Amino acid sequence: MASSWILTALLFLFVVVSPLLALSKRDPERERQERQCKSECERSREREREVRQCKQECEERYRRQKGQGRNIEERERESESESEGRRRGVTGNPYAFERDRFVRDISTEHGSFRTLPPFTERSELFRGIENNRICIMELKPNAFVLPHHKDADIIYYVANGDARLVTIGEERQDSHNLKKGDTATIPAGKTTYIINKDSQRELKIVALLQTISTPGQYEIFFGATGQNPPSYLRAFSDEILEASFNVDRSRLSRLLEQKGQGPIVRPSSEQLQGLIHGGSGGGKWPFGESEESERPFNLFSRRPRISNDHGELYELDETEYSPLREFDIAISFANISRGSLEVPFYNSRATEIYVILEGRARIEMACPHVSGGREQEGSRRGQGEQEGSRRGQREQEGSRREQEQEERGKGQGQEIKYHKIRSDLNPEDLFVAPPSHPIAIRASQEENLQIICFEINARRNRKYFLAGKNSILNQIERAAKEVSFNVPSREAEEVLRAQSDSVFVVGPRQQREGREGEGRAVA
């Protein structure tokens, strides 16, 4: 009799308890499925909200599968700890965003608006820039974006192409020509339309949007359209529209019931002439002339702030282009020669959002916030692929050194730690550098690196370089150097003055080869 009880108990353990134990473990296969499910959302959904909803459904489905047989309490506890992790942003590398994180807001065969989800969805560390969103607009040759407005202030940077942008005001319309390097601002609520004037090349605009209503959220409003995209006028009842426009319903319907070809279209060649050259119908005379303050400003019309054999840096701030004042933003463009390095620096007040335009970048940043692994690997691609085992060895040594430094960093009370954030970035990938965080940017050996940077909280911001001729570390008084480095001041100064270039310098591999005289060709 007793043995049958034991058997039953064993059977119970086997049938009920062991699957529960198994379920509480992480399941890489299911995690992979969830990731796949989510990326499918990005492919198949167009509106950002739909994508987000779709992704939530993936998460729920996954959680349901994983949670089968467990009680609600357990599941809640799990999701709490997940959100706690998200809240503090303490694991992984929250600063790099790969290009496939962009979600298609609008997409037709003639072009697309892709937007990066709000930064705070990634981590609470981005609370300070929660009103900022990055959008990439791409238009096929001669494509036209129908008139619309957004509930966000917008700054355009034209990465490529040739366009005509029209903004509609109460009294006038303004027409702006946009070309590579142009920066333009569009205030929230301003109705605009845009045409790619070029019949061969694509137009690409990287835009920063500052939301003004719900932090991090914005919407697009089409008015002068029919059903596709739907006009906001269609939301009104017929009697309101009839009375407002003083025409009868059937004539209104002819406008508002038209099928339409979507928010981005390719006009016929006759229509194109009117759109490209403007001046026919609509606005009051004179049109085509924009107020000086609203004109786009070309980043390359001024001399670069820094220029040497290894790179150049162009900057545009509110003192040169007054519309930026409203935004408290500056824009910079760095062109780093292949194999070269922008030495470590930090911004005093600004958070910088870097978007890679061309080439490949390796960014390293010191961050006291993030933990979970000594080295935070940022990106999936090319991580150390071309680097030999020697490099791996060097890095291990580097890690040991860091570890030691971290150990030594332990003060009396609080522990001071700076983690290495490292990301390999490709075109359209993005990196966010918070203020005070020292960062270095290195171009790959193969090609020049072009980066556009939106500087948020630009007013009173200073960029402090930590190596090279203009290094602030050199400014520290001799006695202070001696005490703080704890070596004779001469020794400290020899190290700090060894680099005779400033800002852009010879990158690591070239330098190493030069020094070791290997003369080996680089891949």
Interface positions with Cu ion (CB under 5 A): 367, 369
The residue (of 177 and 371) whose beta carbon lies closer to Cu ion is 371
CB of 361 or CB of 367, closer to Cu ion: 367
Strand 103-108 and strand 162-168: pairing? unpaired
* Structure tokens, 503: 């800002």
Select 52 or 369, whichever has its Cβ closest to Cu ion.
Answer: 369
The residue whose two tokens read 């060894």 is 498
Structure token pair of residue 383:
């991580």
- 243 and 392 Cβ atoms separated by less than 8 Å: no
For 468, left (φ over 0), alpha (ψ -120 to 50), or beta? left
Q: How far is the CB of 451 from Cu ion (least distance, A)?
A: 20
Give least dist CB 437 to Cu ion, A. Answer: 5
Please count the CA atoms within 13 angstroms of the CA of 134 that sit on its side-chain side. 26
Q: Are 447 and 361 in contact (CB under 8 A)?
A: no
Nearer to Cu ion, 349 or 369 (CB): 369
| Smallest gap from residue 370 Cβ to Cu ion (A) | 6
Closest to Cu ion by CB, 231 or 347: 347
Taking the complex as a whole, how short is the minimal distance between the CB of residue 434 and Cu ion, in angstroms?
6
- The three-state secondary structure class of 470 is coil
Which residue number, 306 or 466, has a Cβ lying nearer to Cu ion?
Answer: 466
CB nearer to Cu ion: pick between 194 and 367:
367
List the strands of the sheet with 306-308, edge to edge: 96-97, 430-433, 351-358, 449-456, 329-336, 311-316, 306-308
Helices (H), 278-373: 323-327
ω into 368 cis (within 30 of 0)? no
CB of 367 vs Cu ion, minimal distance in Å? 3
Count other C-beta atoms under 10 Å from residue 457's C-beta: 18
Query: Which is nearest to 162 in space by CA: 182, 146, 145?
Result: 182
Kindly state the smallest distance separating residue 366's Cβ from Cu ion, in Å.
8
Based on CB atoms, which residue is closest to Cu ion, 298 or 371? 371
Nearer to Cu ion, 369 or 417 (CB): 369
Q: How far is the CB of 347 from Cu ion (least distance, A)?
A: 13
Q: What are phi and psi of 25, to 5 degrees?
A: -80, 160
Q: Shortest Cβ distance from residue 419 to Cu ion (Å)?
A: 8
**Residue 373 beta carbon to Cu ion: minimum distance, rounded to whole angstroms:** 14
The residue (of 172 and 349) whose beta carbon lies closer to Cu ion is 349
Burial class (CB in 10 A: 0-12, 13-18, 19+), 113: buried
Token reading at 26: 């992480």
DSSP codes of every residue in 92-133: S-TTEE-GGG-EEEEEETTEEEEEPPPHHHH-GGGGGGTTEE
Residue 255 or 366 having the CB closest to Cu ion? 366
Which of 293, 274, 270 lies closest to 184, judged by CA?
A: 293
Residue 480 near residue 416 (C-beta atoms within 8 A): no
> What is the rounded end-to-end Cα distance, in angstroms, of the chain?
76
Give the pair of three-digit tokens for residue 437. 């965080």
Least distance (Å) between residue 361 CB and Cu ion: 19
The whole-angstrom separation of Cα 256 and Cα 274 is 23
Whole-number minimum distance, CB 185 to Cu ion, in Å?
30
